[in-house]
Chain A
Amino acid sequence: MISRRALELATAILTGSFGVAVVVQSLDNGIGWSSAGVEAGTFPFLTGVIIVAGSLYNLVRGVVPTASLANVPVAITSIELRRLAGLFVPAAIFVAAIPLLGMYVASAAYVFAVLAIPRHQSLLHSAVTAAATALALYVVFERMFQVSLPHGALAAALGF
């Protein structure tokens, strides 16, 4: 269970740290006015400062519960969290597997796993959907529009 307050705080910290990174990085490019006009770092620096300031404000708003925040104490219940993870974790594993397996094998395996393991569909049905997905990707991208998708280290090792 995650409270609205915790979520607000986490997001504000996330945006704030991005802002700090922007400010620090833009100092390398130089800020202000030089003989070549407005220097490259000026705009990023200003946006960074705005992000940091805004995030601090949101952080304080998150800590001090005002009326609008207090009436939604729970942002994500544990059931919702499980559903979120059920979607996101396989997707993340899929993305992580692409460099190794290549887009075609990884996407087929992903579709098969997501459909077959929670028993949403029969094994045969899942296998057909998975194969069709990979085939469709291959035909449309590799063949029709000549956009090469990653084949992966495995395919390279097998000599494709």
Chain B
Amino acid sequence: MDNLSELLHGFTIAVTVPHLALMATGVLLGILVGVLPGLGAPNGVSLLLPLTFGMQPVSAIILLSSMYWGALFGGSVTSILFNIPGEPSSVATTFDGYPMARDGRPTTALATAFGSAAFGALVGVILITFLASWVAQVALAFGPPEYFAVYFLAFASFVGMGGAAPIKTVVALAIGFAIAAIGIDTVSGSVRLTMGIDELVKGVNFVVAVMGLFGIGELLVAVEEEFHARAVSSKIDWREVFRAVGRLPRHGVALLRSAAIGCWMGITPGGPTAASFMSYGIARRFSRRGRYFGTGEVEGIISPETADHAAGTSALLPMLSLGIPGSATAAVMMGGLMIWGLNPGPMLFVDQKDFVWGLIASMYVGNIVAVALVLLTVPVFAALMRIPFVVIAPLIVIICVVGAYSVSNSYLDVVIMLGFGIVGYLFKKLFYPLAPLVLAIVIGDKAEDAFRQSMLMSKGSLGIFFANKLVTCLVVAGIALLLLPLVLQLARPFRKNAAPATETPAQEKVII
């Protein structure tokens, strides 16, 4: 209960007029950088950092963290409306968010996403409030084998959930791993798979791949299907925003499960991206309507969004309590902390109580401010869907080009992005699944590094993955998730013989 009184004290710091104004400013700027692909929370936070030097540390961190919330929310907007995920963690939102928006329900999709995101973030903050010290210990227990086990678990929960032809899934996954390996190998320092192009030393950035695969690829599919007419028909209804949020409690199980997955992956260094993929995969497997995932299911939006924000929020905890930044944004903020004269780490909770609890209280208030502002902007964003396709198509192309370029100021990235566009179109056309490909690009090299580091520790023995309780549980859970669909598939013919024949058309549609 000590924490609770500290928190109340924190609220008295956070809920003041200047601080609320700072929150609103931060959130609005954050939404802007989140919506614009190629710019993200790290850009925004770095640009605002110099402005904060004259501020009180509490005010400064409130401004920066509000921007972070805004960017997290804004990142989902382009994923849902144009199938262009601005950040790795919002990729899984495109799977059901975009089909729903394209169906003429952009308002519902956006409001559902924001509502569940806010829920996830709140659960994350509550966790931080009550379990700060315990969480820090869990994060410290993680070494390379545990890292690998967490990534393995994320893969296992997502891959092999059926739908696509198995060999095509395997090919897509392997291509993703190979792309992730391009560039400098972080374990040995040697340069890999540059195909004779020196510039590839920096690797293929995830954003470049995703802009092409999803943005351009989807545009090509859309222009071929000629969905011009459907895009215009979307109606804007303010009340739908509240109706969509009001419907959320009906999916309570999905919300709680996703928040739990998110918090777990945020504390353990799996991160928001792995969390959102894993949550989507698990929801698809256990939802009664799992078969319809990929066609615009509400739970297909709730699950990745809740987990993403729960993980994003709880990932700030290791930064505060251990001094280990969990993400690029957290790293920039930590730089700020040091400039303001604070030392991140365990002592922060003792020396700077006002700062820490002011920040934690501002997370509650900031998220409420963010969700209110972002829900107000839903109709504005939804109106974008009414722009005729002939106008929006070249704009999407430009957004993808600028986004790919600004990742590392490289023209080569733009060309690669266009190449990924063709690949995305072909894969979509021929029912190769894109999700495993993207997942492998995002966490493939991290998983590989963790595996090789573990092998170094154990001198080549796989026994290290069963060396202690934590890692054994993770690995066993992963294997179980991997084998589950196989077992179910083997069991199916015995249960009902007629079913598979009728299922095929539905399945073809569901492939992401």
Query: B-contacting residues of A (Cβ < 8 Å)?
Result: 4, 7-8, 10-11, 14-15, 18-19, 21-22, 25-26, 29, 33, 36-41, 43-44, 47-48, 50-51, 54-55, 57-58, 61, 75-76, 80, 83-84, 86-88, 90-92, 94-95, 98-99, 103, 107, 110-111, 114-115, 118, 120-121, 129, 133, 137, 140-141, 145-150
Cβ contact within 8 Å between A7 and B430: yes
Cβ contact within 8 Å between A55 and B401: no
Query: A-contacting residues of B (Cβ < 8 Å)?
Result: 33, 36, 38-39, 43-44, 47, 167-168, 170-171, 174-175, 177-178, 181, 185, 187-188, 190, 192-195, 216, 219-220, 223-224, 226, 388, 390-391, 393-395, 397-398, 401-402, 405-406, 409, 411, 414-415, 418, 421-423, 425-427, 429-430, 432, 448, 451-452, 455-456, 460
Number of A-B contacts (CB under 8 A): 173
Q: A51-B175, A141-B402 are in contact. List 6 more A-B contacts (CB 8 A).
A: A25-B194, A94-B398, A94-B401, A99-B411, A140-B36, A145-B33
Interface of B is mostly: helix
Chain A residues with CB under 8 Å of B36's CB are: 140
Cβ contact within 8 Å between B406 and A38: no
Cβ contact within 8 Å between B406 and A147: yes
Cβ contact within 8 Å between B178 and A150: no
Bound CA–CA A121/B224 (angstroms): 21
- How far apart are A72's CB and chain B's nearest CB, in angstroms? 10
Bound CA–CA A137/B406 (angstroms): 12
Interface of A is mostly: helix
Bound CA–CA A57/B401 (angstroms): 35
Chain A residues with CB under 8 Å of B394's CB are: 90-91, 110-111, 114-115
Chain A residues with CB under 8 Å of B405's CB are: 103, 149-150
Chain B residues with CB under 8 Å of A80's CB are: 224
Cβ contact within 8 Å between A133 and B430: no
Chain A residues with CB under 8 Å of B427's CB are: 11
Measured CB to CB, the nearest residue on chain B to A4 is B430
- How far apart are A28's CB and chain B's nearest CB, in angstroms? 8
Cβ contact within 8 Å between A103 and B192: no
User: Mind listing 14 A-B residue pairs with CB under 8 Å?
Assistant: A8-B430, A25-B192, A25-B193, A37-B455, A40-B185, A51-B171, A58-B168, A76-B429, A92-B418, A94-B397, A98-B414, A147-B39, A148-B409, A149-B406
